Copies of this chain bind each other. A is one copy, B any other.
Amino acid sequence: MRRSSSLTSPSAVVITVGNELLSGRTVDTNAAWLGRFLSDRLGIEVDLRLTVGDEQNAIATAVAQGMARAEIVIVTGGLGPTPDDLTREAVARALNRPLLLDQGLLDQLTGRFRSAGRPLPDANRRIAMVPWGAQLLSNPLGTAPGLLMDEQGIQVVLLPGVPREMNAIASEAAAEALRRVFAGRLPDIRSRELHTTGVPESALAGLIGDAFPSGFGGVRLAFLPEETGVDLRLTVTGGTASVGRLDEAEAQLREVVKPWLFEAPETGDLAEAVLTALRTRGLRLAAAESCTGGLASKRLTDVAGASDVFLGGVVAYSDDAKEALLGVERKIIDSCGAVSEEVAEQMARGALMRFGAEVAVSLTGIAGPGGATPDKPVGTVCFAAVHGDQAVVRRSVFPGNRDGVRQRSAQAALALILHLVDGRLTPPLD
């Protein structure tokens, strides 16, 4: 079964274990995370994914199938202490290795429980039973370590199913071990990610294709569309020597997508870019929302440390609330309608004044399914952003259902702030 080592990158089979995955009670986010991690960070592509239940036969069969197909087989789940955790036993069987007590690991587990003031539960002793010859992969966040076995050149990696433990072991101990085993065969990957919003993927692809018909000279470009924007990922292999090419490609790409670009190194979220832009200028923000019902404020406060910039917001869902809490004039609501540029601007001005902020943003719209009028279909949303005397006002009609309209509306409101204070995101398209 030994394979001739080749110069191309090894591929991987990922096996996720758990009845809750097959029944759909749990969505298999581990498999997606591993796919991205292996590809983006190690240059290893997943070739096949298998999901099996908590059953020794099924796990062992899947491992054998994976070994026949790829040089790396990664199994997640079934490493815990409960009786339905059967991955250790199944893999030992598939590899025809005995399960042996690892005294060092047992001592470590015992010590860990002792320092928490408890004896090691009998059930947890199972965690110290390890297939013969397996290397332990340190788990900084839990009791069950990962395990790595070299079976005639094929690397079988076992990881726990708890996502944060799985991520931690994969990112550190497992990645390090795989880099060592496949030294010289894994590409040295460098990458950059740019965040855009307000422009559809197809339009972006057209613009970039027109500007750089022959690409970026060995630097790969991937489009990563998300609900509220498109991320662009530039990747180059070849280590330090290729960083110059990556820098150049990034500069070229930035120039083309400039009108839709924002910077959010921590979270990748536009809310972070808005808070940073305001913070560096010493500006504080207030919000006034209608159809989004608090979503824009929620987005801003998702970012830890938002409180030095974001003072607060008003969710003015009823007309009375727009009047009472934001000082919108009733006659403007009556003449222009609650969903109008005029009302949006008064909402923003009201929020600015009531919160004593320097910058305020507002939006009022029809998220549906009800509420449409002949001239204002579902998806119609009016926005305003104000900064002292300056104001920008916009109207959009978004496609999609209630949730989609609300997501896009909150994103467009955040974009409008950045447009106003930083001259970015011009024009903030749908």
Contacts and interface: CB of A to CB of B under 8 A. Distances in A.
Interface in A319-364: 320-321, 324-325, 354-356
A317 B325 contact: no
A22 B49 contact: yes
Given A312-B318, A312-B325, A49 B50 contact: yes
Interface in A60-75: none
A24 B33 contact: yes
A302 interface: yes
A300 interface: yes
A310 interface: yes
A26 interface: yes
Contact of A31 (B24, B300, B312, B317): B24
A34 B24 contact: yes
Interface stretch (A40-48, A78-86, A139-147, A191-199): A40-48
B27 A29 contact: yes
B46 A49 contact: no
Most chain B beta-carbon contacts within 10 A, residue among A46, A321, A324: A321
Most chain B beta-carbon contacts within 10 A, residue among A24, A289, A291, A320: A24
B22 A35 contact: yes
A32 B28 contact: yes
Contact of A32 (B26, B52, B321, B370): B26
Nearest to A38: B24
Most chain B beta-carbon contacts within 10 A, residue among A50, A51, A291, A356: A51
Contact of A39 (B23, B297, B307): B23
B293 A306 contact: yes
A305 interface: yes
Contacts of A283: none
Nearest to A290: B312
A316 B354 CA distance: 11
Contact of A325 (B23, B307, B354): B354
A301 interface: yes
A104 interface: no
A22 B50 contact: no
Contacts of A32: 21, 24-28
11 contacts: A24-B37, A51-B51, A294-B298, A294-B315, A297-B317, A306-B317, A311-B318, A312-B314, A312-B321, A320-B356, A325-B325
Interface of A: 21-29, 31-37, 39, 45-53, 58, 224, 286-287, 289, 291-298, 300-302, 304-307, 310-318, 320-321, 324-325, 354-356, 368-370, 402-403
A-B complex: 6 closest residue pairs judged by Cβ atoms: A293-B301, A24-B35, A294-B294, A294-B297, A49-B51, A24-B36
